[in-house]
Structure 1
């Protein structure tokens, strides 16, 4: 037998560790089982944002809302930064306690209160699984010339398989894709940027009653919501990292990976949107890309949707367990995959675009106030040993009131349009921001007594120290 060198041995050991099926659920990860560094957050979030849903969210800016490419780029840069900051911050929640963010939600929202966001995250994950499965199936269908059914089955099985293995395998796959996907997307990027109309201006006809300000704000909101939706997952992929993982480095890696991947692919989508409206990956072949480049692009799109959607399957399963369902992690993965596949199968037969737009906006409306509560709890409320969280904590009321304050601003045509959004369409993109600010301020006010008691205890302790 040929003996392996030290480097080969380490690589072999790392691969074996990463491909071993994960046995942990939502319980805290013991210190002895912690490993990995903050750099893996860069590759995970970069790979997860180099995908067709990023392309389509950018395409909405020019093809649907009428922004010029430079205007769309500014909105994409800003919106992506908001979403990336949320992922960066929530990534730092994992190492200190060794549990995901939804578990930590029990402190401000209460035991039963925390179950409601967990259920919403579960259904959000199923919906994203469905969205990405549709997109991946379109790409595979075009690539291998099969029907929608076989392509859809291939994509969904691959996504579920990665999630079944678990945490280590997901990070390994994303590291590999951080190298592969840029190579696959470089061709369509060069073609898309050079053949599109980067000097295009604002089109009032496409924007309609939104006007320029409304269209710009809506693109920012959609782009932020797409990345923001991942923030509820972020700590799931850092909870195995050592307790002493530097939070600033972790934030920087997660933020940079998210922002770079999102801006690159969304701005490419905005560029393509100046010359064609792409409804599915198949349209890229028929309307934009030449032969060989189209084939490579279909491969890239198919692979990228699989590597992104496995996160939805994995984190959706954890959310289902946190909601109080008694089953093993692998069983919960199959539940998410099964329900997401059912949603995707039926949605894939209808109008994808309008559903996609509304879906992205709705996500930000309820996640934003929840995130505000978690940020206030983490950074402004003194840490304390909690014997047993109440059934419903102050954060639950803050979250609901934040969501309620956003209702008049909500704008999902065909679903619901609030009175303010109806009379002032340009304000229809403000719902998530209103929810975030309202929930954060209310939770800050409701937890004021906790801060006062903590200050009093600190003062009393200092007074007891003899001179």
Structure 2
């Protein structure tokens, strides 16, 4: 009794802290309010990737683009590594300043320039909220035998409720799901891998003009884009961590959690895709899984979509505030939930497969150049300026170096995006001239945007680095004086 008493009190205090509604918005988190360790990034990103959208992204590889399972697995491993690396790196941006990545975007893009990616992230979050709400509703609908409307309402309310409580509760839920979801998904994994055709070869008819190289590259791009899209959120879930959180350790936890969850579930989707094309979670019951296993799987899919989509609701709300909208965080959460629910309700009445594919590709096209600008700013441009950075880490006022309107990073981001247009390939929406004449190059748009924006931002800012370093020395002297 004496040994369990203190432990019980600590657990009770931790639960009370995690379930207390968060009052902070996008302002820097003071050092005294920092807590938690890098291990929570593993559970958050692992459980967020164990979900149906990961399954469907993998299924596209075999069922839609004609890859054999081994070819699909290699593409999934590579694409997941790219996306996981982006999440790992951007997770390290949170602890030093105690703010999300979109706030830090103001330095290279300018205060007005940074509002544009913030608005895009807001709408991206609403779109992901809609996608996951549809998938979760299908699962719940199958599980409890109700209509789409009540199932959709149940899923969306649960997602919004978790986001309303905030940062601590999200991490608590994800830690629990990192234990629960593997147990729920183990059955469908064993069945899916053993009953599928893992020796399947390339299907040229399904790949069409893409060919083997084009189909492989497209699967890498889609898989990377799915994880890459969360990189704009990553620092939102590390900004409460102590300033001295080791960046390498944080990167490793975030990368590993993302990569493991993504590869596991996407490769399972690719395996199932060799025997059936699954349009909704309901199809898993009718075409693949036997009764009892189907019930457990529907429960897993319903829970996993809720725990993943609460991130979209939470981070979308922060993006809305960073865009300049004046309201409380909880109000912004309701805006994301309301708009995402409206999109999901109408989209859920039809077939979402082609929209899902295009949605993932479009995400990578604009996020990739933005991420390139942020990485160059952090590791090449701002590296000599860290003494000045440390003086501003917890300053509540905007960074004095932020351009008032548009910074050089905005031009680099925009030009990087424009450079990718000829390579873009969204059939039925837009196909660029290079992608049209060489379909295999249609998966290169995000890579072109990333390289162009990164190189251009470095070229535009490299002459400012000595001046920044000199100023940081002057500032340091003024502080010590």
Place the TM-score, normalised by the shorter chain, in its bin: over 0.9
2:149 and 2:2 mapped to 1: Cα distance?
A: 46
1:452 aligns with 2:466: yes
Describe the shift of the 1:353–1:385 C-alpha distance in structure 2 as closer, same or farther (beyond 3 A). closer
Describe the shift of the 1:387–1:377 C-alpha distance in structure 2 as closer, same or farther (beyond 3 A). closer
1:314 and 1:49 mapped to 2: Cα distance?
A: 17
1:410-441 C-alpha deviation (Å, 9 max, x unpaired): 00000000000000000000000000000000
Describe the shift of the 1:418–1:384 C-alpha distance in structure 2 as closer, same or farther (beyond 3 A). same
Tell me the C-alpha RMSD between the 2 structures.
2.8
Describe the shift of the 1:162–1:459 C-alpha distance in structure 2 as closer, same or farther (beyond 3 A). closer
Describe the shift of the 1:449–1:298 C-alpha distance in structure 2 as closer, same or farther (beyond 3 A). same
Describe the shift of the 1:464–1:314 C-alpha distance in structure 2 as closer, same or farther (beyond 3 A). closer
1:46-75 C-alpha deviation (Å, 9 max, x unpaired): 000000000000000000000000000000
Match of 1:423 in 2: 437
2:22 and 2:371 mapped to 1: Cα distance?
A: 28
1:378 aligns with 2:355: no
Q: CA deviation at 1:350?
A: 1.4
2:480 and 2:60 mapped to 1: Cα distance?
A: 67
1:1-56 C-alpha deviation (Å, 9 max, x unpaired): 99961111100000000000000000000000000000000000000000000000
Whether contact under 8 Å (2:106, 2:402) holds in the other structure is no
Q: CA deviation at 1:369?
A: 0.2
Whether contact under 8 Å (2:107, 2:399) holds in the other structure is no
1:277 and 1:460 mapped to 2: Cα distance?
A: 63
Q: CA deviation at 1:457?
A: 6.8
Whether contact under 8 Å (2:126, 2:313) holds in the other structure is yes
Q: CA deviation at 1:389?
A: 2.7
SS across alignment from 1:232: coil
Describe the shift of the 1:413–1:29 C-alpha distance in structure 2 as closer, same or farther (beyond 3 A). same
Describe the shift of the 1:353–1:465 C-alpha distance in structure 2 as closer, same or farther (beyond 3 A). closer
Match of 1:216 in 2: 216
- State how many pairs are aligned: 467
Q: Which runs of 5+ in 2 are unaligned?
A: 382-395
Whether contact under 8 Å (2:49, 2:258) holds in the other structure is yes
1:321-360 C-alpha deviation (Å, 9 max, x unpaired): 0000000000000000000000000000112100000000
1:367 aligns with 2:381: no
SS across alignment from 1:243: coil
1:366-387 C-alpha deviation (Å, 9 max, x unpaired): 0000000000000001999734
Whether contact under 8 Å (2:313, 2:337) holds in the other structure is yes
1:438-466 C-alpha deviation (Å, 9 max, x unpaired): 00000000001112434667999999999
Q: CA deviation at 1:274?
A: 0.2
Match of 1:28 in 2: 28
1:179 and 1:90 mapped to 2: Cα distance?
A: 25
Describe the shift of the 1:343–1:385 C-alpha distance in structure 2 as closer, same or farther (beyond 3 A). closer
TM-score, structure 2 length as denominator?
Answer: 0.94
1:465 and 1:138 mapped to 2: Cα distance?
A: 59
1:355 and 1:305 mapped to 2: Cα distance?
A: 18
1:106-138 C-alpha deviation (Å, 9 max, x unpaired): 000000000000000000000000000000000
1:377 and 1:225 mapped to 2: Cα distance?
A: 22
1:447 and 1:49 mapped to 2: Cα distance?
A: 36
Whether contact under 8 Å (2:108, 2:402) holds in the other structure is no
Match of 2:287 in 1: 287
Describe the shift of the 1:3–1:451 C-alpha distance in structure 2 as closer, same or farther (beyond 3 A). closer
2:204 and 2:5 mapped to 1: Cα distance?
A: 64
1:368 and 1:88 mapped to 2: Cα distance?
A: 15
Q: CA deviation at 1:390?
A: 2.5
Q: Which moved more, 1:373-382 or 1:337-346?
A: 373-382
Describe how 1:108-187 pairs up with structure 2 within 5 A.
108-187=108-187
Q: Which runs of 5+ in 1 are unaligned?
A: none
2:290 and 2:471 mapped to 1: Cα distance?
A: 70
SS across alignment from 2:239: coil
2:312 and 2:7 mapped to 1: Cα distance?
A: 33
SS across alignment from 1:21: coil
Whether contact under 8 Å (2:127, 2:340) holds in the other structure is yes
Match of 1:232 in 2: 232
1:243-294 C-alpha deviation (Å, 9 max, x unpaired): 0000000000000000000000000000000000000000000000000000
TM-score, structure 1 length as denominator?
Answer: 0.97
SS across alignment from 1:249: helix
Describe the shift of the 1:121–1:407 C-alpha distance in structure 2 as closer, same or farther (beyond 3 A). same
SS across alignment from 1:24: coil
1:24 and 1:61 mapped to 2: Cα distance?
A: 42
